[in-house]
Chains A and B, each alone.
Chain A
């Protein structure tokens, strides 16, 4: 079974805090993605990576950065969290078929 794990299911942070969301996959796959999901807006791509140390901006990269130091790990970083970054964050790996992690529900107060 493909496993994509995320470091936290629920997270509460304060405005201005630096936030790290970790994602680990066990498929030895090159492609990894970070999305956020909001009601009525669906899944929106933040960043993706198709190799170690490689990263590409998705549709809504503003306010986020990423790190891919190892193939299995793709981290999403909120440099200074804001309330409009309250959302469900989903990590995904795959090429054709997509496998999602369980999601992190982040609340920024």
Chain B
């Protein structure tokens, strides 16, 4: 089983729709969780951190479910500019324990 797994998509959704991605992780000792956004041919950039209590930033909501070992990202009222690949990142402590998911591709359609 991969350490961090994401559905690669693509998720094709109309503008204004709500879309959610999940990311599962295998290491129960994982400590920190993040969502990154990567545009085509660009580097990944931090979108938001994921806290146990949940984290909301405008149209974006991130949740952590430690019992089931997954994190989620919810995007409400999708915009064309949200089209990108969303990477989940799991940090398990130590310098080499940053693990990236392979990403979920989102395409928002007019």
Q: Please report A residues at the B interface, Cβ cutoff 8 Å.
A: 31, 33, 35, 40-43, 45, 48, 50, 56, 58, 90, 96-103, 105
Contacts and interface: CB of A to CB of B under 8 A. Distances in A.
Interface residues on B, range: 20 to 34
B95 A42 contact: no
Given A101-B43, A102-B42, A50 B95 contact: yes
Contacts of B10: none
Closest 6 CB pairs of A and B: A42-B102, A100-B43, A43-B100, A103-B43, A50-B95, A42-B100
B50 to A, nearest CB: 12
Looking at chain A's contact residues, is the secondary structure mostly helix, strand, loop, or mixed? strand
B91 interface: yes
A48 B95 contact: yes
Contact of B45 (A33, A43, A100): A100
B45 A42 contact: no
B22 interface: no
B89 interface: yes
B20 to A, nearest CB: 20
